[in-house]
């Protein structure tokens, strides 16, 4: 045989061998799924709830308009430290000052009128006393004259004179008593007028006081909303007065953050939180949860659920207040902040990566078990049975949480009970043991993986295309 024929036969045989080996390799690996795995191990876990919000002082007050007027002077500037009672701004006070002075003059006049009425009343009392004495003397003389006249010791003319004197004294007493009562009424009236003028002075003095605004608390002037020359109006019914400025007590600083409704059940007062502030990158501030809101707040509108009557299924948040332990003096209200609240901590617990968890229905697990048993000639493939369903549930729809464990080149779905969740790992309370090899990826493989599938472990860093 010629050489070229030998070469041609050799090449052909090699080609047939390659095709046959490829077919065999394909048949062997066509049902094999490539996965990434990791080992179950003991770790220290810390459960974190992350919430965003802003820096706020524990105590602050918004200064609002209390009266009408035009601003003539703003004494402070933003950033100034003030003490309680320090003057903040002044309004024009010409009219209120004039009203107060006029009212003080009216009070002085009313006081003089009271003194005059008191004197008149005392004079009337003295007159009544004198008329009372004259009446008593005339009454005695009249009674004596009656006895003498009956006995015929005095003439009729003398008796009539005594009777007329008695009647005149009685009328004079009655008149003086009426004058005293009139003087008393006049005195009471002047006293009432004086009290009315004093009450009016209190009101006008309050109007004058409201032209000068003072700091209600110690703190920092964190914001001024008005300028000199602008008009200030007070609040009317449900409408608040003009917003002038904010005084913030920065001695106690908090981060007021909004926690998701699914996380708030794990947050408790006293828990430690690490706070980061966007304006101070690279710095971490330690704090503790000191207050929690009881009312859910709609995420889009910022309104409490009790403030709206419409049924709404949108996401809700709850307010959480974290008090910083040692806040820097450079902090300002309104700075954006993020708090990472440590809600639970466990040491040396079995943990697995979060992405290893998978959800399967009981129906899917049963079907996979039956399919695996059919593929096995000897029926030796045994899949871990899930816990029986709770009474009253539909087994076909029940979802079971578990992980895929690699055993003898195949995966087995094992139901697990989980505990606290860390940043990347989650605690496993039952179902696994230390050293078990579990499937952690890829996401595409985990999504389609079934119990009993053959797998090939490849823990090299996956390419970007495989991650999607």
DSSP assignment string, 171-225: HHHHHHHHHHHHHHHHHHHHHHHHHHHHHHHHHHHHHHHTTEEE-SSSEEEEEE-
Dist. CA 175–CA 137, nearest whole Å: 17
**Contact of 280 with 330, CB cutoff 8 Å:** yes
Local confidence band at 450 (pLDDT 50, 70, 90 cut-offs) = confident
Query: How far apart are alpha carbons 450 and 448 in whole angstroms?
Result: 7
Mean pLDDT of 171-194: 93
Share of the chain above pLDDT 70, in %: 84
C-alpha–C-alpha distance, residues 397 and 361, integer Å: 6
Helices and strands (H, E) in the chain, number of each type? 6, 21
The tokens for 24 are 């065999």
> Which candidate, 292, 254, 248, 293, places its Cα nearest to that of 275?
254
Token pair for 324: 């910083």
Instruction: Please determine, for residue 191, whether its predicted confidence score (pLDDT) is greater than 90.
Output: yes
Residue 16 clears pLDDT 60, i.e. is over it = no
Specify the pLDDT at position 92: 94
Q: What 3-state class would DSSP assign to 139?
A: helix
The upper half-sphere exposure of residue 22, i.e. CA atoms within 13 Å in the direction of its Cβ, equals 6
Q: Of 292, 317, 291, which Cα lies nearest the Cα of 304? A: 317
pLDDT at 94 over 90: yes
CA-to-CA separations, 153 to 128, 157, 159, in angstroms, rounded: 34, 12, 10
| Band (50; pLDDT cuts 50, 70, 90) | very high
3-state helix, strand, coil in the chain (%, to 5): 35, 35, 30
Nearest to residue 91, comparing CAs of 236, 241, 232?
232
- What mean pLDDT is predicted for residues 58-64? 91
Encode pLDDT of 264-288 as tens digits: 999 999 999 999 999 999 899 999 9
Using an 8 Å Cβ cutoff, are 11 and 417 in contact? no
Query: Helix, strand or coil for residue 437?
Result: strand
Bigger pLDDT: 468 vs 105 = 105
Q: Can you read off the two tokens belonging to residue 150?
A: 């009956």
Percent of the chain with pLDDT over 90: 51
Q: What local confidence, expressed as pLDDT, does residue 467 receive?
A: 47
* Distance in angstroms (rounded) separating the CA atoms of residues 33 and 455: 5
Instruction: Look at residue 26 in the predicted model and tell me its pLDDT.
Output: 45
DSSP character for 310? Answer: S
* 8 Å CB contact between 287 and 323: yes
Question: Would you say residue 101 has pLDDT above 50?
Answer: yes
Distance CA 55, CA 250 (A): 10
The residue-averaged pLDDT of 11-27 equals 55
Q: What pLDDT score was predicted for residue 213?
A: 95
Calculate the alpha carbon distances from 294 to 162, 253, 264, 318 in Å: 94, 21, 10, 7
Using alpha carbons, list the distances in angstroms from residue 369 to 252, 378, 388, 396, 401.
62, 14, 15, 14, 17
Return the number of other C-beta atoms located less than 10 Å from residue 240's C-beta.
Answer: 11
- Mean pLDDT over residues 442-459, rounded? 86
* Residue 309 parent element (H or E): none
Alpha helices of 309-460 — where are they, by DSSP H?
362-375, 443-448
Global pTM reads 0.63
Per-residue tokens: 53: 């919000």
Letter string b/e over residues 365-376, b meaning 16 or more CB atoms within 10 A of that residue's CB: bbebbeebeeee
Predicted local confidence at residue 396, as pLDDT: 62
Q: Are 41 and 327 in contact (CB under 8 A)?
A: no
Helix 156-209, helix 94-150: angle, nearest 10: 170
How much is the pLDDT for 309? 62
């Amino acid at each position: 045989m010629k050489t070229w024929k030998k070469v041609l036969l050799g090449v052909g045989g090699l080609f047939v061998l390659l095709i046959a080996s490829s077919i065999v390799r394909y048949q062997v690996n066509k049902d094999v799924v490539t996965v990434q795995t990791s080992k179950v191990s003991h770790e220290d876990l810390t459960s974190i709830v992350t919430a965003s919000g802003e820096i706020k002082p524990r105590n602050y007050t918004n200064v609002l308009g209390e009266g009408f007027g035009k601003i003539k002077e703003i004494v402070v500037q933003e950033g100034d430290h003030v003490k309680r009672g320090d003057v903040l701004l002044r309004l024009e006070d010409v009219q209120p000052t004039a009203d107060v002075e006029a009212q003080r003059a009216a009070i002085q006049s009313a006081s003089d009128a009271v003194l005059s009425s008191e004197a008149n009343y005392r004079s009337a009392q003295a007159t009544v006393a004198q008329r009372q004495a004259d009446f008593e003397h005339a009454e005695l003389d009249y009674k004596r004259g009656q006895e003498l006249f009956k006995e015929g010791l005095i003439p009729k003319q003398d008796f009539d004179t005594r009777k007329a004197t008695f009647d005149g004294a009685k009328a004079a007493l009655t008149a003086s008593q009426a004058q005293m009562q009139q003087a008393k009424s006049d005195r009471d009236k002047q006293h009432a007028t004086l009290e009315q003028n004093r009450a009016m002075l209190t009101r006008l003095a309050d109007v004058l006081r409201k032209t000068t605004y003072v700091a209600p608390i110690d703190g920092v002037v964190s914001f001024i909303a008005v300028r000199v020359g602008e008009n200030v109006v007070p609040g009317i019914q449900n409408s608040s007065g003009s917003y002038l400025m904010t005084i913030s007590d920065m001695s106690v600083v908090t981060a007021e953050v909004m926690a998701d409704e699914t996380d708030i059940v794990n947050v408790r007062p006293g828990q430690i939180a690490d706070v980061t502030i966007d304006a101070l990158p690279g710095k971490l501030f330690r704090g503790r949860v000191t207050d929690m809101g009881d009312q859910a707040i709609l995420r889009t509108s910022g309104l409490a659920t009790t403030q709206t009557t419409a049924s709404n299924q949108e996401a809700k948040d709850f307010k959480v207040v974290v008090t910083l332990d040692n806040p820097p003096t450079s902090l300002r209200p309104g700075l954006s902040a993020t708090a990472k609240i440590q809600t639970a901590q466990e040491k040396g617990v079995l943990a697995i990566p979060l992405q290893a968890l998978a959800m399967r229905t009981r129906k899917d697990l049963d079907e996979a078990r039956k399919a695996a048993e059919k593929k096995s000639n000897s029926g030796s493939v045994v899949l871990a049975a899930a816990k029986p369903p709770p009474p009253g549930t539909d087994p076909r729809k029940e979802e079971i949480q578990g992980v895929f464990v690699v055993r003898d080149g195949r995966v087995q779905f094992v139901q697990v009970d989980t505990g606290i969740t860390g940043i990347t790992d989650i605690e496993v309370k039952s179902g696994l043991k230390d050293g078990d090899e579990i499937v952690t990826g890829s996401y595409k493989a985990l999504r389609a993986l079934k119990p009993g599938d053959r797998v090939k472990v490849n823990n090299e860093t996956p390419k970007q295309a495989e991650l999607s």
